[in-house]
Amino acid sequence: MGFLRAALASSMLLAAADAALEPIVMKGSKFFTKSGDQFYLKGIAYQQEAGTGPAGDTSSSSNKYIDPLADESVCERDIPVLEKLGVNAIRTYAINPKSDHSACMKLLEDAGIYVIADLGEPALSINRNDPVWNVDLFERYKGVIDNLGQYDNVIGFFSGNEVTNNATNTGASAYVKAATRDTKKYIADKMADGGRWMGVGYAANDDAEIRVNMAQFFNCGDQDEAIDFWGYNIYSWCGKSSFTESGYDVQVDFFSNYSVPVFFAEYGCNTVGGAEGRLWDDTTALYSDKMTGVFSGGIVYMFHEEENDYGVAKVSGNTVKTLKNYDVLKTKLAAVDPTSTKMSAYEPTNSPAACPAISENWKVADTLPPTPDSTLCDCMFKSLSCAPAKDLDEKDYGDIFGYVCEQDEKACAGIKHDTEAGVYGPYSMCNPKEQLGHVLDAYYQNQNKGSYACDFDGMAEVQSSPSVASSCEASLSKASTAVEQAATATANTSGTGSGSSSDSETSDNAAPGLMPSGPVMTLGSMAVGLYVLVAMGAGAAMVAL
């Protein structure tokens, strides 16, 4: 009996191994399973309260979200419904990197379902209005990668979702691409230690003014900085439409030369009859020969029926009621049979795009913000001769930033950020307190350490024993050189920046004047506003999802 039990156990283990999902890999512009079969996403967005649909405002000052993969009972309720729908992937918009997702990920694997996860969360993502790429954000993104990266059915991650959504906020894309660069490097380092490939991509909205520049920017240049895949949120096939009427033909033509996989990161227009009026003819088109040579499938928006009316199922307590458009989608997915090729027979021919030029609708240079480095920030802060008072409230930072940067622009060079010129101070990635410390100390040094220059009505304090550890010397020296370069670099190539120079000497006994008490943004030059925005952005509400 013991031998029989051992044999059965061994057989079950082998069966489980055979049933395990193969990791997905990328080659050229296509996805493949590890064994070489082409892979098409047949996905659905799976997260309650996940935004408001196409072009919706997902910004939020709160951090309320429901982790869709943390509650085993919820997964036991929903995953069988997902499996019956015929999907092979889900997209999540925010997970808690401190939660245990093993039960849900195992249930998904058993159902043959992969995951693509957004790296941000409502209050900790790159904000299109006040974009930063800093230590806190990087720690969050690394946490998600560490948590989900242990599961073979994770395809990869989105470093942003519709962060730049029109021509007025293209600069935010520099920070998202920097996040892409650094998270890719984090994954690559894990691969060097025996880990596996996971991609990092971006999900863009369909804005006619910027969509070409966006696709080019994230694909161009050093491929260690570029996206691994391109997600396209598109809602142009509405009701009884067609391949040409929807503009799908235009998308196929444009992306036919794209060098990485492209797929619909969201689709499913509801403007004709709401969610229940969806015919899902776009699904049929997406997996037809007209599109499969270019697109690697797509992700339907969305599973849960909510106020925005995009769902295929209504959840109430422990029950799930599928809707009419669930049944329609299920039938359409079951009928598709996309043409495929073997990885061994596929030789990529497409090349990365050229980077877009600066224009009226595109204000992003090729140079990206620096990689967040908490060690450098800590070294800098401990070396300061003048630092923020220990009891200084963060709400008071803005007035100090505004005054110092108005009076001595050079003192703020270390936190400078100009996406159009591609100029970034080395400390622009530090937290607001550390950035303020750098600015205060630079101002103090530039004023020849005048006693008045480190006071600000008790908001700043001279440090009695600043120290520089030997391990910090090289990095601080390099950063100091970068500060000098940022101070002399062109601040704004469009000519809208400050026209004044801050190179003039200020005598040791010059009076500093009164610090303005009004809003910081009334202080004058655009350059000052930019310094303050980048420094205070970490304390602002972030773009959700």
* Phi-psi label, residue 513: left if phi above 0, alpha if psi -120 to 50, beta otherwise: left
CA torsion 156→157→161→163, rounded to 10°? -130
CA torsion 288→292→295→297, rounded to 10°? 60
Listed in sequence order, the residues at least 6 apart from 515 whose beta carbon sits closer than 8 Å to its beta carbon are: 399, 400, 403, 456, 457
- Tokens 């307590």 found at: 317
Query: CA dist 446 to 228, 409, 425, 440, 508, Å?
Result: 45, 11, 17, 10, 9
Query: CA dist 364 to 214, 355, 356, 427, Å?
Result: 10, 10, 8, 20
- Tokens 């998308």 found at: 251
d(CA 219, CA 528): 32
Q: Which residues are catalytic?
A: 162, 266
User: H or E segment at 149?
Assistant: none
Radius of gyration (Cα) for the chain, nearest Å? 26
Sign (positive or negative) of CA dihedral 209, 211, 215, 218:
positive
CB atoms within 10 A of CB 242: 13
- Tokens 């800098």 found at: 380
Q: What are phi and psi of 239, to 5 degrees?
A: 65, -140
d(CA 130, CA 139): 19
d(CA 429, CA 349): 37
Query: CA dist 24 to 21, 31, 226, Å?
Result: 9, 7, 19
d(CA 519, CA 525): 13
What single letter denotes the amino acid at residue 409?
E
Measure CA 487 to chain center. 29
SS3 262: strand
